[in-house]
A and B are shown apart, each in its own frame.
Chain A
C-alpha cells in the first residue's frame, strides 16, 4: 500500500496541471517567452471561435464546418524580431519539441539562415495542435493553433467565408502593449446575416454523453424539463440513419452496430430550433 500512494499522488497532481494549463506547446514549454518583452504576441481566444460558431447555415456541411470552428481553442503566436540569437533559439525550440513524442513533424525547410518546421500533436485520434517554429536572420517565431482540430471539415471554412458575407467590420484587432488580439464579435456589431445562437440557448441544458462512444450515448436534460423532441441521427456526410419523432429525455441511443466514424445527433424542438451534437466512434 505504501508504494502505491506516491504514484497516485503524482497522477492526481499531473491531472490537475493538465486541467489548468492551456493545451499548447507555448504554455507548456515556452511560457517564459510570454513574459519576455522582446516577444510580441498575437492571439485569438476561444471566445472568438465560440462567436463564429454561432453562425447558422441551412446547408448541413456548412453547419458542420461552423461547428468544427467552435471546437478550436485558440491561436497563439510569439514573435521576436529583435534577437540576434535566432539560430540558437530555433535549435533550442526544435530540440525541446523533438523530445516530446506527442509531436510529429509534417514538414521542414531550411534555406540559408531561414529555418522552419511544422508539426502536429495528436491525442486519441484527434489532432489537438498545429505548431510552427521558425528562425531567420533576426526573427524567431513560434505559432500554435490548438483545440480539437478536424482538418477536413475546417478546410471547408474558406467556402463558408466566401458565401456568408463576413466582412472585416466583424473583427476587431485589440492592442495592449506587446499583445494583439483578434476578436470576432458579431453581436455587438449587429451583423444581420449572422444568426445569433439563441437556439443554442434553448438547448443549453441538454447533455449528450459520452461524445467518444463505444456502445451507447445518453441524451439528458439536466434540468429535467419535459420537452418533446424530434431526433435525427446522421453520418458525417449528412446521410440520415435514424429519425424519431416524439422523443423525450433521457434517451439512449445505441451505437453498437455502427461502424467507426463521426456522427451527428440533431435534436429539434417543437418550435423548429435545432442543435447538432457531434459524436465520435473510434
Chain B
C-alpha cells in the first residue's frame, strides 16, 4: 500500500509540474470542444528543431534563437463570430481576474480591439498573451517560455500562424 500511494503522489506532482501553465490552457479550455474555434498548438520540440538549423544571416540567426527559447504557442481563433467584441471583453476580464497577468498595451478602435498582456517571473517574461476582437474575428494567442519582446516583433513579420502578425503592433511600444 505504501508503495502505491507514493507512486500516486509522485504522479500527481509530476503531472502538475509538466502541465503547461498558460492562459489558453487554463482559461480557454471551454473553447476546446467548440468546432467554430480553430485551435493551434506548437510545442517546444518544434522550436528546438529550429535551434539546430544554421542561419544564413544574422537576422535569421536572431529569429532562430528567439524561436528556440519558446516553449510553445497556443492559439484560439474564431474567424466568423457575430459576438467577437463581447468575446474579447469576456476574455480580457477573465485574464484580469487571474492576477498573474499585467497589461502591456491596448489598441482599441471602432472596428477592432487588441490587448497584449504579459506574465512575468522575476525579470523574465514567461508568457505573452494577445486578445483580439472585432470584424467578426476573435483571437487569443499565447506565447510562453522565455519571451524577448524584440524578437517577437521580428518573428511577427515572418511567422505564418494566423493572428501572429498582430504582435507587430508591439513595435510601437519599443520605440
A interface residue numbers (CB < 8 A to B): 104-113, 118, 120, 151-152, 155-156
Contact = CB atoms under 8 A, between A and B. Distances in A.
A59 to B, nearest CB: 14
B63 to A, nearest CB: 14
Contacts, number: 41
Contact of A111 (B38, B43, B52): B38
Nearest to B47: A106
Contact of A106 (B38, B39, B43): B43
B46 A113 contact: no
A107 B53 contact: no
Interface in B15-68: 35-36, 38-43, 45-46, 49, 52-54
Interface of B: 35-36, 38-43, 45-46, 49, 52-54
Given A151-B49, A151-B52, A152-B52, A105 B40 contact: no
Contacts of B43: 104-107
Nearest to A111: B38
Interface of B is mostly: mixed
A66 to B, nearest CB: 16
A104 B43 CA distance: 9
A152 B42 contact: no
B49 A106 contact: yes
Given A104-B43, A105-B43, A110 B49 contact: no
A112 B39 CA distance: 9
A8 B53 CA distance: 42
B52 A106 contact: no
A107 B49 contact: no
B38 A107 contact: no
Given A151-B53, A155-B53, A108 B35 contact: no
Given A151-B49, A152-B53, A113 B35 contact: yes
B25 to A, nearest CB: 13
Contact of B38 (A105, A109, A151, A155): A109
Given A112-B35, A113-B35, A107 B42 contact: yes
22 contacts: A104-B43, A105-B41, A105-B43, A106-B45, A106-B46, A107-B42, A107-B43, A107-B46, A108-B40, A109-B38, A109-B39, A109-B40, A109-B41, A110-B35, A110-B39, A111-B38, A118-B46, A120-B49, A152-B52, A152-B54, A155-B53, A156-B54
Nearest to B52: A152
A85 B42 CA distance: 27
Contacts of B45: 104-106, 120
